[in-house]
Amino acid sequence: MALAKTCCGAIKRFRLELPNFMNPPPITVLQGARTYKQHSYRYNKELYRRRLKVGPIEVTPRSKQLNWNEDVELEAFTHRISEKLSRVGVRQAFTDMSYSRSTAQLVKEVIGDSVQGQELDALDTSAGNEQMAESGDNLARKFIKDFIKVQFPHLPEEGVGSILEFLMSTGKLAHVGKHLGITDLILYDVPLVSLINEEQGEERACAFVRDFIITQLIGEDIDAIFPITSAMTRLVGLLEKKGQGEPISRLLEHCGQATAVSCYFVGIYSDNELIGKAPGETLEIAEEMAAHDALMSLYGIQENRLPFDFNTTYKQYGILNSGTQPTLLSSEQH
């Protein structure tokens, strides 16, 4: 009944404008009706039944609809990301290998030799984005790795790898691409890094990665991306390596000891200094979690760390090419 009521507006439009039925304009007014006409109940019900029979509205991408000017869209896209890129290059970056092959064949078959120039070259079989994707992926990975190493100097290699995989996962890149508005333009955004590298230089490419991909780390819990397992064993090993005293656990607080919902706070001490503290349902869990907390502060990924420094200029060529330990230089030095 309620559904029939809500569909009423759409159905009326359907009756009047039959050709527009598959893509009806959005229903803007659904609430605010003071009365419900009971005499039109059977009529609405019939319309509702017909609507269900037709099935869901097919979603057509914007690029398949009318008034789609790809050149303008590509131009707008380059302005959106504030880069000066050639249109041919962008089109190539946005063209998947499989797509480029099939389209080029189709164009040749249909139009034959009458078409010439850049348009056809861009659609040539060699003009897919496979190579660009690969080199872009390499560059982005290298830069992200160095960036994380500068931000978290004490994080082990394993943790750096976890964060890198998190940022370069298909889901995350698809998310970034979607919000850069490339859904209708393509299909993948890593080739774009390679394109910027070629046309604007490595520094701009790294800035692109930093601004659009690494910023996805903001608000993320590093601990969830890089889950630390068997914390106590790790902590013992790490403290031994650093030459500090072995960890000693102490019960700091507790409440409801004799109840089913008890809570314990355990602190970890090394050389008479509190290096970690955490709650837990039992003493064992609290101790493990305290070791976890101590590890997080030793790795420099504790909750109350400073925010990421995106403003400082990195000596990117130094980082990327020399292969030495990445260093942070302030903007004045650079």
CB 279, min distance to other proteins, A = 3
CB 288, min distance to other proteins, A = 8
Residue 159: name the closest of 221, 66, 205 by CA.
221
Considering beta carbons, is residue 30 or 251 the nearer one to other proteins? 251
CB 285, min distance to other proteins, A = 7
Burial call 43-76: b when 16+ CB within 10 Å, e when fewer: ebeebbeebeeeeeeeeeeeeeeeeeeeeebbee
Specify the residue for token string 């004490």.
154
Considering beta carbons, is residue 259 or 333 the nearer one to other proteins? 259
Per the DSSP assignment, residues forming a β-bridge with 264 are 254, 280
Considering beta carbons, is residue 239 or 266 the nearer one to other proteins? 266
3-state secondary structure of 220: coil
Considering beta carbons, is residue 225 or 238 the nearer one to other proteins? 225
CB 149, min distance to other proteins, A = 24
Considering beta carbons, is residue 93 or 228 the nearer one to other proteins? 228
CB atoms within 10 A of CB 4: 19
Chain contacts with other proteins (rule: CB under 8 A): 221, 223-224, 227, 253-259, 261-263, 265, 278-281, 285-286, 289, 292-293
Considering beta carbons, is residue 101 or 254 the nearer one to other proteins? 254
- Planar angle of CA 178, 64, 62, nearest 5 degrees: 40
- Planar angle of CA 315, 318, 323, nearest 5 degrees: 140
CB 302, min distance to other proteins, A = 11
CB 286, min distance to other proteins, A = 7
Length of the chain: 334
Return d(Cα 148, Cα 161) in angstroms, integer: 10
Return d(Cα 6, Cα 30) in angstroms, integer: 7
Q: Which structure tokens are listed for 200?
A: 């604007």
